[in-house]
Amino acid sequence: MSSSPRRWSPGSVGSRSLLAVVAIAVAGLALRLFDLGGRVFHWDEGRVGYWTLRYAETGEFAYAPIIHGPFLRIVNATVFGVLPPTDGTARLVVAVVGGLLPLSAWLFRAHLDRAEVVALAAFLAFNPLLVYYSRFMRNDVLVGGFALVALGFAVRALDTRRLRYLYPSAAFLALSLSTKANTILYVLCFAGAAALVVDHRLVRRVHAGESVRGVWRAWRAAAGEALRDASGDRPARLVVPAHLLGAALTFLAIIVALYAPRPLLYASLEDPSLWLTVIHEATVGSARELVDLWIAGDMQSNPYLEFLGHELETLAYGAAVVCAFAIVGVVVDGYVSDTSATVAEDTGRDPGGDAARTAGDDAARTAGDDAGPTRADGGALARSGEGASPPGAATVPGIPAGRSRAFVAFATYWALASLLGYPAATDINAPWSAVHVVIPLTVPAAVGVVYVARRGLRAARLADRETAALAAVVLLVAGAGMVAPTATYWNSTDAGQTEMVQWAQPHNDLRVSLDDAEAAIAANGGDVDVLFVGGDIDDRDAAFYVADESAADDKGAPGGWYDRLPLPWYFERAGATVDSVPPDADHAAVLADAPPVVVVPAADRSAVDPHLDGHVAREHELRLWSFPVVVYVDEGAVAAADRDRRG
């Protein structure tokens, strides 16, 4: 039997769905890029940004688990070689990854019908929590997004029996691990969710009268057939291990390239005798540091219920629509027949997409067709029994009706594990941990919202105005529930919005002083551009003071330096020379010839004011609350800088 690959057809259901996914991704990307630098850097952005600038200048890098993986520092150093280091460009990589993440929905098209794929893309693009933290130079969207794509390619390998998908899967898993060690939690969640899915399928078949041994025998036979099919005319015992080895080497190469110390990595390119040292430091050395801090250490000593409560609050404010539709999706996919099948038949639409029309066409698969699932049972995850419909159920090809799909159940278990696990695994109480719950929840949420929409369409065609109106209201409210939080938290630094905004976020009014400070630094001809005066702030008795300013150049610094964040990022990119004095310093003496920029805890303002005539003083919150500082900027320096800019 022979067959040629399907041609691109703009009018086909699958083609229209793919175009819709691409359009959603473009819109999501635009949403993330607009006014990307509008919010002042968060404390965490400030420290990573500072060390990125130091790496870009010195070329020296070593993995530091306290600031997570090396991905952002290494990639952003490259970005800063092309674009100027600004708040917007520093966030650009995260925004692009978050904006393009909806494209990953297409990888799961064998397990969701086309409408559900589009809905999944929409939730990934427009969920307020994902939008906010895609506009934030942190690793959470990166680690979750890369892990989702890695899972998607692994699923495609199972669905299509094409081993080549193992390579991008391994690559994205390595990228995920290079951003944050949370990848380990993702892999554990994947393994646990898969085990539960297999167990449920086993129990179902045993209850249907099969023996456990018989089920396992059938599954082994199916796995053997799949491996032989994937290997083609070559022996599976050689082909499969070769591809697994290739995928493992792909993973290792990316890990070594990103985790290896610099400049040792570059030296090894000229001296192959250093290769083993580089590989050891990038793998064993990095793993040892990770274990010492995050696993063997006490970083997870926290009040679990308090952290769980805050995570639930964040989900309620930033992902209420996803959570609500996820509940609907779980119930619908597990217990409710898809009555929208009647609507599809009546209207001539194919909710299953072109996948249904080509189900089981192995010849098309071997000829290179990769536009959709190629088996009537909807792929490997569906082969455990959920693809078939009970006798008498209304069905449409490509859409399981009234039976739980393995992938939907898998994502649900993954989300529940993340919900319960992250409060125990995280070191601080922060809204960004909820990102790891929302990503898997988007799958059952897509099922739920499509079900509501189809029920509404069916009711409208049957002249059931009440049901149609109710469905319309639900969808309109859901739309508002996505738009309103995004608008509310857009570049927010509001102290009353801690359900989304983390405490270490400075207020945006700091921007005025930062702009003046950068101008003053550029105009200064003295030895010191910025002076931090140590003092008491938020129970810290030596805030801002660092005996050796160079101690912060690499990956660690005394505690007083961290109190300054995110200011070091702004002063470093301005090329400032920074110094500090201890709290007990003689203010009159140290400020007799004050530099153009002086930063002081607000509690010490009265002691400093008399010695800074000619400086403009502005008070700002360096956190959401309880961290007031005063930034003094020399008026003359600002005026001189303004004159230089004008002429």
Q: What is the pLDDT of residues 135-194, one digit of tens each?
A: 999 999 999 999 999 999 999 999 999 999 999 999 999 999 999 999 999 999 999 999
The answer on pLDDT for 219 being more than 50 is yes
Same domain, 165 and 269: yes
Report the chain's mean pLDDT, rounded to a whole number.
86
**Whether residue 161 sits in one domain with residue 59:** yes
Question: Looking at the domain assignment, is residue 489 inside a domain?
Answer: no
Q: Single out the residue in 479, 496, 521 at which a domain terminates.
A: 479
In a domain, 210, yes or no: yes
The reply to whether 340 and 408 lie within a common domain is yes
- What residues make up the domain containing 593? 510-646
Length of the chain: 647
Q: Answer yes or no: do 444 and 540 share one domain.
A: no
Domain boundary among 459, 479, 499: 479
Q: With helix as H, strand as E and coil as C, how does 10-51 read?
A: CCCHHHHHHHHHHHHHHHHHHHHHCCCCCCCCCHHHHHHHHH
**Total number of domains constituting the chain:** 2
Q: At residue 377, does pLDDT exceed 50?
A: no
- Res 297 pLDDT > 90: no
Q: What is the pLDDT of residue 555?
A: 63
On whether both 414 and 535 belong to a single domain, the answer is no
* Interval 88-140: pLDDT, tens: 999 999 999 999 999 999 999 999 999 999 999 999 999 999 999 999 999 99
Task: Report whether pLDDT(360) > 60.
Answer: no
Q: Mapping DSSP to helix (H, G, I), strand (E, B) and coil, where does residue 428 land?
A: coil
Longest Cα–Cα distance in the chain: 92
Distance of CA 521 to the CA centre of its chain: 36
Q: Do you find a cis peptide bond into 601, omega within 30 degrees of 0? A: no
- Distances from the Cα of 489 to the Cα of 128, 512, 597, angstroms: 8, 21, 31
User: Which of 436, 461, 479 is a domain's end point?
Assistant: 479
- Beta bridge partners, 531, equal 579, 598
618 beta partners: 631
Is 516 found in the same domain as 463? Answer: no
Per-residue confidence band for 11, with pLDDT thresholds at 50, 70 and 90: low
Residue 6 lies in a domain: no
- Same domain flag for 420 and 461: yes
At residue 366, the pLDDT reads: 34
Interval 71-94: pLDDT, tens:
999 999 999 999 999 999 999 999
Q: Is 202 a domain residue?
A: yes
Determine, yes or no, domain membership for 170: yes
pLDDT in the model for residue 558: 79
| Same-domain check for residues 529 and 443 | no
Is the residue at 500 inside a domain? no
Q: How confident is the model at residue 49, as a pLDDT? A: 96
User: Which pLDDT score is estimated for 645?
Assistant: 61
Both 566 and 440 in one domain: the answer is no
Give percent above pLDDT 90 in the chain: 68
Q: What is the pLDDT of residue 341?
A: 45
User: Are 106 and 158 part of one and the same domain?
Assistant: yes
Q: pTM of the entire structure?
A: 0.88
CA angle 300, 147, 406 (to 5 degrees): 105
The amino acid at residue 177 is L
pLDDT bracket for residue 352 (50, 70, 90): very low
- Is the confidence at residue 620, as pLDDT, over 80? yes
Residues 84 and 218 in one domain: yes
Each residue's pLDDT tens digit, 488-534? 999 999 999 999 999 999 999 999 999 999 999 998 888 999 999 99
Q: Are residues 264 and 162 in the same domain?
A: yes
The answer to whether position 488 is within a domain reads no
Integer Cα distance of 385 and 224 in angstroms: 18
User: Residue 637 domain-assigned?
Assistant: yes
